[in-house]
Structure 1
């Protein structure tokens, strides 16, 4: 009997000593959870292009052009929540022999988006987006540099809305649908606002040419926004990025779609040098074109909106920091 009691106490003592270790292991496995993560990326690029002639029998003009661009992004992720903000800026100039300095590229853009999905296996996000864009300097219809056709905050565009976003790998492929997106167009220059540029209501004049009602400086719209982003490595060191935006307004000419499609192909030479090809296709029904009615009297009239296209090709220096 005494031996039975002794073995019983020995068994209980052994169990009590071993049990905390197994409990500790279990507890350690349970408390492992994802931690909030911040990722910051910065990229600066300088693209140069130069042509020079000396006693060139076929003729030609010396020219030099440059585009400076920078992009900074900050991403926060925690479990099924993602928040991304980005600043994108670029400015380009071109100087040809015996001609005025011309602007070739001008962009200032700030964007922010949030997304939340209900489970880790879901590919659908509840999403909200805000985007603001304008330009740095005056724009002209060259060679005329006396009358600006655009300025800083003339125009400026603000988009704000919410919807759903699909993305199996959201950094590579996403489709965003917002049934309610507010669009504001800002024309904060008196002359351009009075002229009714970029879709705002123009000024009203009396018979003597005096302004009775100043031109509208802000135009508000509410509509549908569809955005698609696609990124793929088409070959070794060749990256293709495509961003397409489609917007139509509920209140004014519903079904008339504004298009903004940007295509960029990066050819990576090494960590510091790359070549790039860019294409930007735009159509905005609110942006009308001017046609010459009487050239001698410098009289112009307004024509309908047209498809706008810009193409860029360059070799540049890249710095990631």
Structure 2
């Protein structure tokens, strides 16, 4: 037992010495700055890099001019057509008369607007006819209206204008009465250019907006024509034209107000009022005329139209005259 103790003691001392040596080695401090001296830097690109100066040169490139044109003309066309028909058998208990009615209107308007010049020409044609069984055909509407105006702008809303207006009708007009025995009697009271009106006017125009304008014709002349002499016996006043003559010339003051506007996307109102005050006659011969057309679209091509005319002219009647019509038909406007 004592023989093995010195050997074991030797082994223990040897292990302790080795452990102490290892601890001293791990605790040594390393200087990193010294290590950086020996760091290997990456090799830079040895190829040369050249900068080239950018040069800008001016070159003429041929360009074809675009064919753009400015148009100061504005055109519009409105065409309307309405038709109605009714038929009854001879033994229909509620009664009634077979009838056919046809009506149409055509409106053409052209404008030129380039300050200070303004030109407007408007043509309105209206005609309607109905045929009742046993009564023949009779007119329901008949008018020719052509208005031309040229104006020069004086200020923002005022213009100096000159205008030429023509009015008449297409066909003969009759007054239907019954005689003592109950028979229908027709009397011719109008025809083409009987009467017919040609009006020249100069003055000032007030135009505060695109849909309203007012003309004040301080210098106005109107010629009234009655070319059909067969209506003399039926019209003693002869529309103001003396018996035996075919034309009457008058000097007067004229005022014309026009309202033309879309009230909504589907409704439109056009109204015109004309005042005529003759200088050579009393104020009782002042004439007033109102023409109005109201249009309401049902679809793109179908529209409801209502038109009316109210007239007071002592040369044609001592009472107020009026006409009114309702129609549902085809209306086409372009563009």
Corresponding residue of 1:306:
319
Specify the SS of the correspondent of 1:168: strand
1:49 aligns with one of 59, 65, 84? 84
Match of 1:250 in 2: 279
Give the Cα separation in 2 of the matches to 1:151 and 1:187.
Answer: 9
Aligned partner of 1:76 in structure 2 is 112
> Aligned runs of 1:105-116 on 2, under 5 Å?
105-116=141-152
Matches within 5 A, 1:1-321: 37-54=72-89, 56-119=92-155, 122-142=156-176, 147-170=187-210, 172-193=211-232, 195-202=236-243, 215-254=244-283, 256-288=285-317, 305-321=318-334
Question: 1:225-270 deviations in whole A, cap 9, x for unaligned?
Answer: 1111123444451222221111110012245320110122111112
Partner of 1:293: none
CA contact (8 A) 2:237 2:316 kept: no
Answer whether contact 1:230 1:241 (CA < 8 A) is retained.
yes
Root-mean-square deviation (Å): 2.1
Equivalent residues of 1:196, 1:216 under 8 A apart = no
Kindly indicate whether the alpha-carbon contact (under 8 Å) linking 2:285 and 2:315 is maintained by their aligned counterparts in 1.
no
Unpaired runs of at least 5, structure 1: 1-16, 18-33, 203-214, 289-304
Q: Which residue of 2 aligns with 1:31?
A: none
Decide whether the 8 Å contact of 1:278 with 1:311 is kept in 2: yes
Is the contact made by 1:238 and 1:265 (CA closer than 8 Å) also made in structure 2? yes
- Tell me if structure 2 keeps the 8 A contact 1:199–1:286: yes
TM-aligned CA deviation for residue 281 of structure 1: 0.1
CA distance in 1 between partners of 2:265 and 2:237 (Å): 48
User: Aligned partners of 1:159, 1:46: CA distance in 2, in Å?
Assistant: 30
CA–CA separation in structure 2 for the residues paired with 1:52 and 1:191: 36
SS in 1 for 2:175: coil
Q: Is contact 1:249-1:255 (8 Å) kept? A: no
Q: CA deviation at 1:84?
A: 0.9
Which stretches of structure 1, 4 residues or longer, exceed 6 Å deviation after superposition? none
Q: Deviations over 1:37-74 (max 9, x none)?
A: 11221121102222333454321112221111111122
Further displaced range: 151-160 or 134-143 = 134-143
Residue ranges of structure 2 left out of the alignment (5+ in a row): 1-57, 59-68, 178-183
Aligned length: 258
* Structure 1 position 221, deviation (Å): 0.6
**What TM-score, normalized by structure 1, do the two folds share?**
0.75
CA contact 2:163–2:200 (8 Å) conserved in 1:
yes
- What secondary structure, in the 3-state scheme, does the structure 2 residue paired with 1:191 have? helix
- Secondary structure in 2 matching 1:188: coil
Contact 1:114 1:128 in 2 (8 A): yes
- The farther-off stretch of 263-272 and 45-54 is 45-54
Q: CA contact under 8 A between 1:36 and 1:77: conserved in structure 2?
A: no
